[in-house]
Amino acid sequence: MTQKDLFGLIGLKSTDPELISFFSKYGLEEPPQNIAANELTKIITDERNRVCVVFSYEIIHEKFYPPVLVGKEQPQNSFLPYVSAVGIRSGIEPSCQGRGGAGRVRNVPSSYTPVRDELGSYYEGFWNVTPSYTATEEELTSYYGIPQKAPVWRFIKDYSKDFEIIAYYDPLKKVCTDIELRIKEYRDILRVWFGEGDGVRDFHHIYAMLVKWLFDNRYLRLDENLYAQGLINDKENVLDFIHTHLKGRVWDYQLTDEPLLISFLYTTLDDSDIETADGPKNYYFRRQLLLSLGRWGNDQDTRETPERENVLRELLFDDLTYIPFRKIMDDTFELYRRLFPGRFISKVP
């Protein structure tokens, strides 16, 4: 086994013949055929060689989304796992931990060759991608660049467009504790999946209005021909657009580099007050929607009551609802820019 062999597992389905062959060759527990909805992650560990393989089903990345349902069993549905990360551990404060137990090692096949010697050092030739975990800070910096410094430093380097390598370094012990290759995941901006199992399904029409606002202001990274076609103010029309062109969610990479856009969206999706020079303000978009229609009531009250939820649930997504909503969102975003010119500048990778 070499480091490159291990890294070659990233992104594979648990049912991929290449993955199954690798696990068999090195005596690892068989890959999980599915993961229950309440598990999210399963980890299989080769304790002899201090390597681990992490399986996940919900990976926020366009190549691995949406999750693939493989079984409808009570009380939980189950989904197809992918290799979302692989790790190499030094044995010092391992980072490859999470939900799901460590894997078991089966009987070692006769063809098995360990990658570490009796003293625990990896054989020459294993480290054919990155510096080993015995590398110095200078060697790590030369390969990865300047680290993100915290109690544990993180050296990060792109492995490809979709994957990144992270080396975790303890500056006090002057040792690299773990090296991990993982799938890059996006930020789920709206925190809504426009699918059957979503928890706010009753309110998809109002979240669709927010997507329509992004579209109308050209805040989405789309081809010009899509903008030229336009979108009508209709729930089904916009939901079809979301599934066809956004894969059912709104991720950070799908947004333009409009200054403060991501910060504003996070603010308007939160029903908490934020402090301004003019006193506390509440920019919750559901509140803004009812205010634009004159159906919120006392505009000093920021609570979303069950009665207001029912009003939102019964709203129609049409011109009469959307046009005033778009105006109040435009005005609110302009006010936000003036109040918080340097709060967070959005940067899409």
Q: 173 and 131 in one domain?
A: yes
Based on DSSP, count helices (H) and strands (E) in the chain, helices before strands: 10, 11
Q: 252 and 160 in one domain?
A: no
Residues 6+ apart with CB under 8 A from 316: 205, 235
Q: Of 149, 183, 217, which closes a domain?
A: 183
Residues 168 and 183: their CA atoms lie apart, in Å, by 16
pTM: 0.66
Q: 163 and 29 in one domain?
A: yes
pLDDT for position 344: 52
Does the residue 276 lie in any domain?
Answer: yes
Q: Give the tokens for residue 115.
A: 């990658």
pLDDT for position 105: 33
Q: Give the tokens for residue 185.
A: 């995941």
Q: 304 and 258 in one domain?
A: yes
Q: Which ranges constitute the DSSP H helices of 62-144?
A: 137-144
- Selection from 190, 214, 228 nearest residue 325 by Cα: 214
Query: Could you tell me the CA-to-CA distances from 173 to 29, 169, 242, 344 in Å, in that order?
Result: 33, 9, 49, 34
Q: 134 and 16 in one domain?
A: yes
Cβ proximity of 112 and 25 under 8 Å: yes
Q: What single-letter amino acid sits at 217?
A: N
200-203, Cβ contacts within 8 angstroms, sequence gap of 24 or more = 202/313, 203/286, 203/312, 203/313
Cβ proximity of 302 and 343 under 8 Å: no
Q: 327 and 208 in one domain?
A: yes
Strand order through the sheet with 175-183? 41-46, 51-56, 82-89, 175-183, 163-170, 153-158
Cβ proximity of 10 and 182 under 8 Å: yes
Does the residue 118 lie in any domain?
Answer: yes
Q: Of 183, 213, 236, which closes a domain?
A: 183
* Phi, psi of 227, deg, nearest 5: -65, -35
Q: 231 and 178 in one domain?
A: no
Residues 6+ apart with CB under 8 A from 78: 34, 35, 36, 37, 69, 70, 71
Cβ proximity of 167 and 179 under 8 Å: yes
Burial (CB count within 10 angstroms: exposed 0-12, middle 13-18, buried 19+), residue 10? buried
* Phi, psi of 150, deg, nearest 5: -155, -170
Q: What total of structural domains would you count in the chain?
A: 2
Cβ proximity of 241 and 276 under 8 Å: no
Range of the domain at 16: 3-183
Q: What are the residues facing 175 on neighbouring strands? A: 170
Q: pLDDT tens per residue, the chain (349 residues)? A: 889 999 999 999 999 999 999 999 888 889 999 998 888 899 998 887 888 999 999 888 888 887 888 877 655 788 999 999 999 987 664 344 332 333 333 333 333 344 554 444 556 678 899 998 889 999 999 999 999 988 889 999 999 999 999 999 999 888 898 999 999 988 888 878 776 655 577 899 999 999 999 999 999 999 999 999 999 999 999 999 999 999 888 989 899 999 899 989 999 998 888 877 777 888 999 999 999 999 998 767 778 889 999 999 999 999 999 999 999 999 999 998 888 876 654 443 3
pLDDT for position 117: 47
- Selection from 248, 249, 234 nearest residue 321 by Cα: 234
Q: Of 157, 183, 209, which closes a domain?
A: 183
The DSSP result for 268-316, as a single string, is HT--S-EEETTEEE---HHHHHHHHTT-S--TT-----HHHHHHHHH--
pLDDT for position 61: 87
